[in-house]
Amino acid sequence: MRIAIYPGSFDPITLGHLDIIKRAAKLFDKLYILVAINKKKNSTFTIDEKIEMINLVTKDIPNLEVVKSEDLVSKYALRVGACAIIRGLRNFNDYQDEISLFHFNHSIAPDVETLALFPSANNLFLSSSSIKELVSFDADISDYIHKDIKDFVQKVIKERLK
Ligand code: ADP
C-alpha cells in the first residue's frame, strides 16, 4: 500500500490546499492530512477547528484521513509507513523553504521522498494569510475558500483578528 502525508498549518484550509489534496489522493492508496501542532506559530484557528474544516471539505475523498501531530513530519511518516511527503510549490520563496525542509526530513528518513506539486493557475498566489488579509478588509473570499466553511472562516477571522 502506497501511503503519503500532506503536512501543513491549514490556518485555514484553502482551495489551494484542496487542489493539492485531490491530486495527491489520486496518486496514493492512502493520504494523511497532517495538521501540525506548532506551539511557536500563532494560529488563528484551533487544531480541532482546522481538523473539522478539513474533514468537511474532503468528505468525498475516501482514501484520506485527517490527523494531528506535534512530532517531526519525517518521524510521523516513518511511524505510519508513508513513502512520501507532499508539498505545494507556489513560488521561489516556497522553493527556498522546501529545499531545506527536504534535506532536514531526508536526513531523518532517507527512504521517505518529498513530492512537490505545482498549484493550479488560480491558486498560485493563494495562502492562508492572504485569506485573513482579505477578510479583514471585508473582501469576498468565495474564489479561495470552500463554500461549506466560508461563513465560519469569515466569522472566526473577524472575531479573533480584531
Ligand atoms: P502556508 O505555507 O501558506 O502557511 P501551510 O503550512 O498550510 O500554508 O501549507 C502546507 C503546504 O501547502 C505547503 O507545502 C504549502 O506550500 C502548500 N500550499 C499552501 N497554499 C497553497 C496553494 N495555494 N497552492 C498550492 N500549495 C499550497
In this prediction the pTM is: 0.95
Residue in 161, 127, 162 with CA at minimum distance from that of residue 45: 161
Average pLDDT per consecutive 10 residues, the chain (162 residues; last block may be shorter): 97 98 98 91 94 98 97 95 97 94 94 96 93 96 98 96 78
Q: Which residues of 44-81 are buried (b: 16+ CB within 10 A; e: fewer)?
A: bbebebbbebbeebbeebeebebeebeeebbebbeeee
106 is catalytic: no
Residue 128 CA: which ligand 1 atom is closest? 3
pLDDT for the residue numbered 131: 97
* Closest residue by CA, ligand 1 atom 22: 16
* Closest residue by CA, ligand 1 atom 10: 8
